[in-house]
């Protein structure tokens, strides 16, 4: 056999073996970071090795440190699994080694992005005539969108920020809910606004920005303003009241950005679409494909209503950069040479179809409710959030240390994996159901593991006292 086919066939075998053994593996990694450094390390080899040997060594070194995000029992952060068709498409993008810079570097990558961006916008209820870009994730999407916002609001104030920068520019107000995602802050740092410019709008106990408070804060100044709203709080899953937020922005001509890393996908489900009502009125949107669409890392999308400001803030040109006709993917993102991310998104959307995405959202939300019902029915267990989406916050014994110890034991146990957080001053276990693989049986197994850990913690503290 051709040696290239040989090594790729071999690799597909390793991957299939890994995926089919998920049920027998602990969800947590089994090796420590130090062990993994040793496994990968040693001295830099002087001589090369056979491809097949390299892959075999990589699998042996890496697999003990691989986290089971491909199982249906991984509930950490907001990490989805990866759909088989999307994994396959991503492999092909790598095998084709396409640079998604322009139509010239890859007509296929440019065209697939065009179609996948349009399909995604349609599912998310984003207007059809927006500009769009494929970025690394919601962090990249927020940064790109806020760069377009900066361009637009300053241009309206008579300032060309692309040429003049921010030195001496009119002050731009940036408003966000008190429970915004932390990536908004990083975007503001990267864009030269700094976090000190952030005017925080109080949020309620679910983390929803208060629209009345937003109006008051907006009314306190008359400078160009950008409002960062959120569709899906990373802890509670709650949505800012987007319609009312859009009203408030419209009244004063503020730019409205919606950070919908995972929550915007609620729009794909007729059952949950009401949660994003008003989001279609925004000026820009950021979302992830690697979270709820279950596309492999990394993959996010940015959309913008103002194509001029979007392109002015991102696009570059040089005499040697031949681009060809059609939409040039790198005009809408901060990168130049870039991974062709559109293939995997297109494959995920083709594999699921409109009804499959709706079903994925519905199933994850139903599993989240089942977690809340099964755990919340226990004595000494409190569900801290209204489970409106796929996120559940659980507290044990109304005690921070107890809650963190239950999380630690569950993580160590390996049946499932979930993280801890602090929600408005109280420690909580944080469950995010974002995988197409999660079944009712996974939820039951995980609930049993969580209750066993909680029982062990109770027992240990009863003995200690």
Ligand X SMILES: Cc1ncc(COP(=O)(O)O)c(C=O)c1O
Q: For binding to ligand X (CB under 6 A), which residues are involved?
A: 78, 137-139, 181, 183, 230, 232, 234, 259, 261-262, 288, 300
Sign of CA dihedral 360, 182, 235, 460: positive
Closest among 291, 290, 288, 298 to 100, alpha carbons compared: 298
Which residue in this structure is represented by tokens 């009863």? 462
Q: Provide the token pair at 395.
A: 């507290």
Of 84 and 419, CB closest to ligand X: 419
3-state secondary structure the chain: CCHHHHHHHHHHHHHHHHHHCHHHCCCCCCCCHHHHHHHHCCCCCCCCCCHHHHHHHHHHHHHHHCCCCCCCCECCCCCCCCCHHHHHHHHHHHHHCCECCCCCCCHHHHHHHHHHHHHHHHHHCCCCCCEEEEECCHHHHHHHHHHHHHHHHHHHCCCCHHHHCCCCCCCCEEEEECCCCHHHHHHHHHCCCCHHHEEEECECCCCCECHHHHHHHHHCCCCCEEEEEEECCCCCCCECCHHHHHHHHHHHCCEEEEECCCHHHHHHCCCCHHHHCCHHHCCEEEEECCCCCCCCCCCEEEEECCHHHHHHHHCCCCCCCCCCCCCCHHHHCCCCCCECCHHHHHHHHHHHHHHHHHHHHHHHHHHHHHHHHHHHCCCCEEECCCCCCCEEEEEECCCHHHHHHHHHHHHHHCCCECEEEEECCEEEEEEECCCCCCCHHHHHHHHHHHHHHHHHHHHHHHHHC
Q: Provide the token pair at 390.
A: 């796929």
Is the preceding peptide bond at 298 cis, omega within 30 degrees of 0?
yes
């Amino acid at each position: 056999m051709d040696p290239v086919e040989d090594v790729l066939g071999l690799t597909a075998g390793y991957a299939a073996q890994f995926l089919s053994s998920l049920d027998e593996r602990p969800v947590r990694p089994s090796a420590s970071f130090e062990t993994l450094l040793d496994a990968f390390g040693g001295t830099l080899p002087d001589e090369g090795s056979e491809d097949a040997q390299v892959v075999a060594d990589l699998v042996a070194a890496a697999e003990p440190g691989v986290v089971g995000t491909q199982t249906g029992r991984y509930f950490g952060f907001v990490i989805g699994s990866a759909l088989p068709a999307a994994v396959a498409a991503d492999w092909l993008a790598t095998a084709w080694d396409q640079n998604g810079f322009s139509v010239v570097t890859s007509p296929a990558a440019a065209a697939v992005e065009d179609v996948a961006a349009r399909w995604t916008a349609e599912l998310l209820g984003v207007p059809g005539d927006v500009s769009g870009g494929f970025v690394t994730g919601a962090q990249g999407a927020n940064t790109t969108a806020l760069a377009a916002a900066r361009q637009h609001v300053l241009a309206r104030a008579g300032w060309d920020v692309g040429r003049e920068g921010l030195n001496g520019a009119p002050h731009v107000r940036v408003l966000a809910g008190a429970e915004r995602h932390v990536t908004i802050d990083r975007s503001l740092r990267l864009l030269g606004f700094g976090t000190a410019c952030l005017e925080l709008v109080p949020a309620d106990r679910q983390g929803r920005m208060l629209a009345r408070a937003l109006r008051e804060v907006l009314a306190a100044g008359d400078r160009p303003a950008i409002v960062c709203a959120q569709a899906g709080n990373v802890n509670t899953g709650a949505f800012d009241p987007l319609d009312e937020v859009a009203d408030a922005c419209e009244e004063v001509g503020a730019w409205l950005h919606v950070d919908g890393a995972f929550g915007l996908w609620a729009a794909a489900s007729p059952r949950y679409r009401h949660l994003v009502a008003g989001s279609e009125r925004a000026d820009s949107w950021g979302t992830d494909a690697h979270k709820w669409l279950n596309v492999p890392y990394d993959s996010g999308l940015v959309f913008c209503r103002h194509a001029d400001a979007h392109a002015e803030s991102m696009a570059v040109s040089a005499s040697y950069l031949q681009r060809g006709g059609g939409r040039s993917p790198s005009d809408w993102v901060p990168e130049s040479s870039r991974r062709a991310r559109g293939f995997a998104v297109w494959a995920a959307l083709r594999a699921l179809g409109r009804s499959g995405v709706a079903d994925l959202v519905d199933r994850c939300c139903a599993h989240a409710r089942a977690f809340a019902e099964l755990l919340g029915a226990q004595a000494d267990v409190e569900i801290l959030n209204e489970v409106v989406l796929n996120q559940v916050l659980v507290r044990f014994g109304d005690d921070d240390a107890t809650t963190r110890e239950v999380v630690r034991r569950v993580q160590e146990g390996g049946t499932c994996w979930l993280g801890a957080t602090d929600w408005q001053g109280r420690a909580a276990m944080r469950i995010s159901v974002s995988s197409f693989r999660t079944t009712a049986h996974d939820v039951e197994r995980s609930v049993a593991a969580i209750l066993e850990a909680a029982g062990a913690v109770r027992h240990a503290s009863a003995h200690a006292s």
